[in-house]
Structure 1
């Protein structure tokens, strides 16, 4: 077996220390993506007119790439918005949801989830149709009445 001379041994140690430092630094850097988001919620005044505006926060918010915003229902089968690039989620009915933001920070896939509630007091109207006057034999002289409750005019 051949002996390693002292100069080679020093170089091997230096290379190992540098390699360990590089691995530790890259691991530390990828785990240090400082970001989050806030939501501004507008209530739903119709059946589905709520809006959620998402604003990124944190020191690394400006470095995020491949951003995707989505809305997930809390109740299975509920209203959802598939991942897309717009930070404005619209046409949302009242209810409980989870807002998800996905991105790439450096080379790491990151994601954050936040519970939200879209408020709303919309009550669907009911239509009651009643006959006021019968039509005479083949004439269009009949009349009907349509009452919509509760609701606010104009009905379109």
Structure 2
């Protein structure tokens, strides 16, 4: 049983580690050239916050999986939405930091935030503790979306062919 807990909890970190490789390189170069709002968190806060958020969402997904008795017909919507939001989460970093597509990243993070909300709504009747583990994530996405918007607004993208 502990292997399931560990696997579900570790899964979100896989995309986080991959994204960190892209982010680490770009934060020192391209990201430094951008105009950013004064209220943004320090760069050092992001890996700490994301470690906690990934751990919480991963453990929450385990609670939902366990409560539903595994991957079955009842799990399609709640765990499918979870998987979709996880894929959207992992996609944001390559879009923003890798491709430097600030506007596309903004659209993507808005879709992500909506999908996280839908995931939470689908989890609530199954496991309230799992749902509550997603609350900090949703709040952080609100901050991240606002930050992405301000960066997009203050840094016009070059015309693309």
Which TM-score applies when normalising by structure 1? 0.26
- The structure in which a higher percent of residues are helix is 2
Q: Which has the higher strand share?
A: 1
Higher relative contact order (CA 8 A, sep 6+): 2
